[in-house]
Structure 1
Amino acid sequence: MNTLKQFPYEQVLVLGLAKSGAAAARILLENGKKVRVNDFKKEENNSTAQELRNFGIEVVTGGHPLSVLDDVEVVIKNPGIPYDNVIVKEAIHRNIPVITEVELAGLLTDGPIVGITGSNGKTTTTTLIYEMLRGSGEQAKLSGNIGTVASEVARESEPEDILVMELSSFQLLGIQTFKANVSVLLNIFEAHLDYHKTLNHYANAKAKIFENQTKDDFAVFNLDDDMVVQLVDQTNAQKIPFSATQPCKDGAWFDGNMVYFKEKPIIKRKDIVLVGEHNFENILAAIAAASLMGATPEAIRHVLTTFQGVRHRMQFVREFKDRTFYNDSKATNILATSSALNAFQQPIVLLAGGLDRGNDFDDLIPYLKNVKSMVLFGQTAEKIKAAGNMAGIERVEIVDNVEQAVQHAYAQSEEGDVILLSPACASWDQYRSFEERGDMFVRAVHKL
């Protein structure tokens, strides 16, 4: 078990529990820190709070009294808690640092870290890098937004372990010293503006992945995304581009037939089984990052000729009566759904809708050309219907939930159609997570 190194604080407030908060509290206690936990949920409905209290941690639940900041030297907040939260605002006012749990991960491990961020494609890219490294005999471990909490993985890691971390803008905004040996920035698209308020604030949060890198580190970046190209200028790391459209012989690139890393041929495009142009960019990023960490061309080829996607991200579910069903529940914004729609030539019955973050869906209209009908649900159903009507889609239905949507989609489909769940919205209006939403879709498909 690894211990915290160079963590200069003795009295810590953990704000918000969930998985990352509970992990941080336990690790801090193990390292002799004085820990206080504050969670808005009342204790009678909060088994994690009760468990931490049994460990001897001071726990305050059912609200956010400012007194929880008394004598505190640092706040470790749940990444999803916004910066206009009353405790966070007061901490900043008192000049108390506010960080996220991923900062602890960097202080707990002596091994290398590969950090992956971007608006879309993080989970797929992270999984590809992990599989490529494992296939090459490297001791890679998944952590962060995918799999286990980053600090828990780092706590148990060996110096030779490579931590492959999926990192959100929420996590990165709260780092001080955290550093990835290889950072990956996939793309920037307008997202999470309810949290970050402006696109620039959101992009700068993503760019913090470069902040502490040195000339001995690597920054893998998307040469085809203008905002990413601007942001990577901030890093001191060695810049490694990837591009699906232009040669970049110091990175990962494509000549129309063969994929290369630098001058080394890796795989023919036609041999890659993962569908979608957006996934091709993810593949190029993964090839670059994995190669820098020692993955072999043979292992990379094996992964790319067998890997068909992660759950809830363009996940093939089944073929039934010549209809093909795909679960893309992780498509929580317009760009992700646009990419999914671009992946198919067949007629599509689109299932979409979810949390209303205040945006319209006009940007989706150019990508609806293969959509023959739509079945919508959630808070944004009427807004997406308006976009569908503007795109000339004649059949648009609104239903109560994903399970009903599957039944209606199948009823209006024909042989040869793709039935695609790609919501273009977060799930929190009706479901606890995009995983829960996707699982409901999969169950409903199999019930057919």
Structure 2
Amino acid sequence: MKEYTALQHKKVLVLGLAKSGVAAAELLHELGAFVTVNDAKPFDANPEAQGLLTKGITVICGRHPEDLLDEGFELVVKNPGIPYSNPIIADAICRELPVITEMELAYLVSEAPFIGITGTNGKTTTTTLIFEMLEKGKLHPLIAGNIGTVACGVAKEATSDNVIVTELSSFQLMGTRTFKPHIAILTNLYDAHLDYHGTFEEYAHAKFGVTRNQTAEDFFIFNNDQEVVRQYAAKSNAQKIPFTTNGRAEEGISADEQVIYWNGNPILNRDEIALPGKHNLENILCAVAACLLHGCEIEAIKDVLATFAGVRHRSQFVRDWKGRKIYNDSKATNCLATKSALDAFNKPTILLAGGLDRGHSFEELRESMGNVKAVVAFGETGLRFIEFAKSCGVKATVAATNVEDAVVYAANLSAEGDVILLSPACASWDQYDSFEIRGDVFIDCVMKLT
């Protein structure tokens, strides 16, 4: 960890705990800041807050006092999920106090460079692929960010021999000021999290934060097949590395039906890749480009691609049962992700879908519903999803109470040769605390049933 003294003896407010808030509070305390933590959960039911109190950190729990900022804070570190409309955050902005997320703290103290991955879809798969390839190439990667490991905790232990491979949400990027990955990736941009950001423009602007501070010494890998991404890429000061799946290109990384090319030169055959689907090809191109730029040998990259079968909850193969192949794609929390999953399977499919109702349309899925022989829908969007499926000519539609019931209905509707696919196209928060929990419930139910 760098010797960082800029926060010594400064009063800092950490708003919201969870894993990132706890790690941020502990790091700030180590850096010599006077830390106050504020969390809505009552102290008696808040073991995280209790642990911080024993370390000498001031803790205010159970409420968010309106006059909290009158204490003379010089910095606010907020949980990424807290919106900027929150009264304390809005007050901080009015007072011109800097508001950051723990990702910024990680960057300030890290001795290791960062590879930052963002985009609407593909972040987790791309992040995991890069980590696996660099690990295979013995380049000492660490993994952090939105993928589940708090970045500032990882950064404390990192050395200059490491590289921190970081999945970045728009929420995290909005809270960065100087964060500058040496290699940045923008996989794609589609409508998402508009309940948080308000408009697509605000959402895209947050995503652009991955390259905003980059210079000519850095690299920006971006989706050259999307006009909106090209427009943002034009604003980047980094060396630009475009990727495309629409045939061989002379610059960047590209692919046709048989081969992947680096600056127009063939580097590997696609039949060497285990991971199916066009959407995964985009992720693979991003990962290969990042690893080549970081000095990874092509043989290490090939070894990983020959065996990598996907990440948990993202088109994850669960099991083969009586000739049916069952997949967990719980991380598909929007229509584009579900469309990509459906397009990857050219077999009759039983689709399990539904979840939190944000009022979004399912029309984006229509052209991918051709192989869907049945839909089992659940959650707040269940009835809307059934009506949509019927409008697509899918006759077998069932309303289930939850994922547990949906598995039973799907098994009964399926036949030998079918795919059973959980790919909800919706967030999980109406019934499950996270898409991970929803996916784990699905896997458990599949195993018990089969």
The TM-score normalised by the length of structure 1 is 0.98
Post-superposition offset of 1:256: 2.8
SS in structure 2 of the partner of residue 90 of structure 1: helix
**Aligned twin of 2:246:** 245
Output one character per residue of 1:216-272: Cα deviation in whole Å (capped at 9) or x when no partner. 000000111111111111211000011100433221111331112224432211221
Post-superposition offset of 1:292: 0.4
Residues 1:139 and 2:140 are matched in the alignment: yes
Amino acid of the structure 1 residue aligned with 2:17:
L
SS in structure 2 of the partner of residue 184 of structure 1: strand
Post-superposition offset of 1:9: 7.8
Report matched runs for 1:293-304 at 5 Å. Answer: 293-304=294-305
Residues 1:218 and 2:225 are matched in the alignment: no
Please list every run of 5 or more consecutive structure 2 residues that lacks an aligned counterpart in the other structure: none
**Aligned twin of 2:368:** 367
Post-superposition offset of 1:4: 3.2
Report matched runs for 1:57-206 at 5 Å. Answer: 57-69=57-69, 70-206=71-207
**Aligned twin of 1:376:** 377
Amino acid of the structure 2 residue aligned with 1:68:
L
Post-superposition offset of 1:52: 0.9
Amino acid of the structure 1 residue aligned with 2:37:
V
CA contact (8 A) 1:6 1:107 kept: no
Amino acid of the structure 2 residue aligned with 1:439:
D
**Aligned twin of 2:446:** 445
**Aligned twin of 2:393:** 392
SS in structure 2 of the partner of residue 82 of structure 1: coil
Amino acid of the structure 2 residue aligned with 1:250:
E
Amino acid of the structure 2 residue aligned with 1:352:
A
Amino acid of the structure 2 residue aligned with 1:376:
A
Distance change >3 Å, CA 305–CA 8, structure 1 → 2 = same
**Aligned twin of 1:340:** 341
Amino acid of the structure 2 residue aligned with 1:179:
K
Distance change >3 Å, CA 235–CA 378, structure 1 → 2 = same
CA contact (8 A) 1:241 1:248 kept: no
Amino acid of the structure 1 residue aligned with 2:170:
S
In structure 1, how many angstroms separate the alpha carbons of the residues matched to 2:50 and 2:2?
26
In structure 1, how many angstroms separate the alpha carbons of the residues matched to 2:326 and 2:6?
50
CA contact (8 A) 1:317 1:442 kept: yes
SS in structure 2 of the partner of residue 305 of structure 1: helix
**Aligned twin of 1:31:** 31
Post-superposition offset of 1:2: 4.4
Post-superposition offset of 1:7: 4.7
CA contact (8 A) 1:2 1:157 kept: no
**Aligned twin of 2:22:** 22
CA contact (8 A) 1:4 1:104 kept: no
Post-superposition offset of 1:360: 2.3
User: How many percent of aligned residue pairs carry the same amino acid?
Assistant: 52
Report matched runs for 1:285-300 at 5 Å. Answer: 285-300=286-301
Residues 1:267 and 2:268 are matched in the alignment: yes
Amino acid of the structure 2 residue aligned with 1:343:
A
Please list every run of 5 or more consecutive structure 1 residues that lacks an aligned counterpart in the other structure: none
Output one character per residue of 1:335-379: Cα deviation in whole Å (capped at 9) or x when no partner. 000100000000000001111112121222221111100111111
In structure 1, how many angstroms separate the alpha carbons of the residues matched to 2:328 and 2:430?
19
In structure 1, how many angstroms separate the alpha carbons of the residues matched to 2:255 and 2:188?
18
**Aligned twin of 2:44:** 44
How many aligned positions are there? 448
SS in structure 2 of the partner of residue 375 of structure 1: strand
CA contact (8 A) 2:8 2:31 kept: no
In structure 1, how many angstroms separate the alpha carbons of the residues matched to 2:37 and 2:354?
35
Post-superposition offset of 1:386: 1.8
Q: What is the alpha-carbon root mean square deviation over aligned residues?
A: 1.2
Post-superposition offset of 1:5: 5.5
**Aligned twin of 1:56:** 56
Amino acid of the structure 2 residue aligned with 1:265:
P
Amino acid of the structure 2 residue aligned with 1:437:
R
